[in-house]
A and B are shown apart, each in its own frame.
Chain A
Amino acid sequence: MKYMLMMYEVDKDWVGAPEQEIQESMNEHIAFTQYLDGRGVAWSGEALRPSTSATTLRPGADGLAVTDGPYVELTEHLGGFYVIEARDLDDALDIARRCPIATGIEVRPIWDIDTVEQEAQNA
């Protein structure tokens, strides 16, 4: 199964952050991705720019309204994500435990159309 690990953090603009802090965070993620490779986990992942850079579209009476800012204003935001391949939720949680964590990581299964169809055939 594929899972997304959504990393939440207090909104932070890494542009202008102290060099050492950036390096430390980079190192943590490099270590995590090395762990993923060592474990043989297929993965992808990205870091996001701060929520202040977000633009949101909402359907309205006059078509799509474009607004400045994230979909929901919170004190913590989605700061980045990984998509990993895991056997089941226990496996995914075991992997997520090793992911660098700020204020929280949400683990969500990803709709996998191939698997659903394959299971329908096997059943």
Chain B
Amino acid sequence: MTGVDAAVAEAHRRGWAETLATVVRLTRDLDEAEDAVQEAFVSALATWPRTGVPRNPVAWIITTARRKALDRMRRRATLARKLPLLIVPDGSGGTGGDSGGDSGGEATAAGPQDDTLRLIFTCCHPAIAPQAAVALTLRLVCGLRVPEIARLFLVSEPTMAARLTRAKKKIHEAGIPYRSPTGDELTERLPAVLAVISLLFTEGHTGSQGTTLTRPELLDQAIRLARLLAELLPGESEVTGLLALLLLLDSRRATRVGSGGDLILLADQDRSRWNTEAIAEGRALVERALRTARPAGAGPYTVQAAIAALHAEAPTAADTDWPQIVALYDVLLRVHPSPVAALGRAVAVSMAVGPAAGLGELDRIAEDPRFAHYHRLDAARAQMLERLGRHTEARAAYRRAAEAARNPVERDFLTIRAGEPEQDRDRS
């Protein structure tokens, strides 16, 4: 890569979201803005080798993209529009509270940070389906190209292009405004944004599609987005909590798969190879998130991050503070009840108290219909049965789990366990 190529790549990484977010306000059309920003980067590749890399590359890109957008708008002026323009409210006021009407006094000049937030909240609006919001965020906020996103989600390029077009059309037609919420409304809307980032990470952590366990590019993009949001909203404890959670989970990336691409359980991972830098940053962020939590208490991402921090701190699986983890799962089930949290608690109980107690917990939560096809419930049951020496039942549970698992690496792992002779399993 030449110096100019590297400079353009760096400007793209650092400046794409800000540039697009600014240009959208000008064009009030997502497609037009995308094209203008794309042209500005092409222009940089052509111009910078002659002129040298400008002192502030992102500012150059923004100026150029705005000019390209104005040119396009002038050319387009005579053509009838197919879609209504994006609604860009003045300032960033809330949408009428109990008093009704506009909330005044918030018509502050929109800075670049505010524009980027607008872009994020528009892409992650609850009126857009989560899967579409993830793709849209990768395109508009991260600046990934359509073929890249298609590859990441293992769908064809036309399929992904159509998905993105539909989502953008929904924004224009339904009148989803280009604004970022404030005050109580921010609290209300933030979970949808965090869910999009979390969904992206989960898909990268244990993909439901593809042949590998993890997909590092998705993990990197999710962490990058969480970082961006944490910079833009430093006072929101749940944003800090989410970034902490992702860093702590990702600190085990190198040890979750063996040399043959096979799955390695948390208890069997080589902890000396965990990413200590990520762990240190994650732990500091958890502490900050806990300190800045709202009076109502820490939110679900912060609590999960605290759990992940306890795992990260433990020198071995046996030395983990399991009673504390059980207590944190109790908190999690109170602030954000979910079958996954209930399962996490059952596993922690089996470690803190014993496998029989863990099985009791599993029996109780298995009555939840949402668990009908959740393979990890059977996988957890299988491990507890093994520890109790009930190997035949354990193998049957592994078999059920393997049948339901979607990730092939996870399925192979469970299939091997289902078929292994009893004496080999006694050690674990």
Contact = CB atoms under 8 A, between A and B. Distances in A.
Contacts of A91: 95-96, 177
Interface stretch (B78-86, B196-204, B399-407): B78-86
Given A39-B96, A40-B101, A89 B84 contact: no
A119 B85 contact: yes
A109 B170 CA distance: 10
Contact of B95 (A40, A87, A109): A87
Which label, helix, strand, loop or mixed, suits the secondary structure of the B interface? loop
B89 A120 contact: no
A28 to B, nearest CB: 17
B176 A88 contact: yes
Chain A contact-residue range equals 20 to 34
A87 B81 contact: no
B85 A123 contact: yes
A62 interface: no
B80 A89 contact: no
Contacts of B174: 89, 109
Interface string B70-107: 00010011011100110101000001100011000000
A89 B95 CA distance: 10
Contact of B177 (A35, A88, A123): A88
Interface in A1-60: 1, 3, 35, 38-40
Contacts of B125: 89
Interface in B349-392: none
A68 interface: no
Contact of B76 (A88, A93, A123): A123
A119 B100 contact: no
B177 A116 contact: no
Contacts of B101: 39-40
A3 B175 CA distance: 10
B87 A116 contact: no
Contacts of A87: 87, 89, 95, 177
Q: Which of A38, A39, A89, A91 has the most CB of B within 10 A?
A: A89
Contacts of B256: none
Nearest to B80: A120
B127 interface: yes
B353 to A, nearest CB: 44
B426 interface: no
A120 B176 CA distance: 19
Contacts, number: 58
A5 to B, nearest CB: 13
A103 interface: no
Interface in A70-99: 86-94
Given A120-B80, A120-B81, A123-B77, A89 B177 contact: yes
B81 A89 contact: no
Contact of A115 (B73, B77, B84): B84
B202 to A, nearest CB: 27
Nearest to B127: A89
A88 B175 contact: yes
A39 B154 CA distance: 48
Nearest to A88: B177
Interface string B289-300: 000000000000
A89 B175 contact: yes
Given A38-B100, A109-B174, A109-B175, A88 B87 contact: yes
Interface in B127-181: 127, 173-177, 179, 181
Nearest to B172: A109
A1 B171 CA distance: 13
B166 to A, nearest CB: 15
Interface string A61-72: 000000000000
B107 to A, nearest CB: 15
B30 to A, nearest CB: 15
Nearest to A35: B100
B82 to A, nearest CB: 9
Nearest to B73: A123
A109 B85 contact: no
Nearest to A2: B175
A40 B100 contact: yes
A39 B99 CA distance: 8
Q: Which of B73, B95, B176 has the most CB of A within 10 A?
A: B95
B179 A109 contact: no
Contacts of A115: 84
Given A1-B87, A88-B175, A112-B84, 6 more contacts: A39-B101, A87-B177, A89-B125, A89-B177, A116-B81, A120-B79
Nearest first, the 5 closest Cβ-Cβ pairs linking A and B are A39-B100, A88-B177, A88-B87, A90-B95, A88-B175
8 contacts: A38-B100, A89-B127, A89-B174, A89-B176, A91-B177, A92-B175, A109-B174, A123-B81
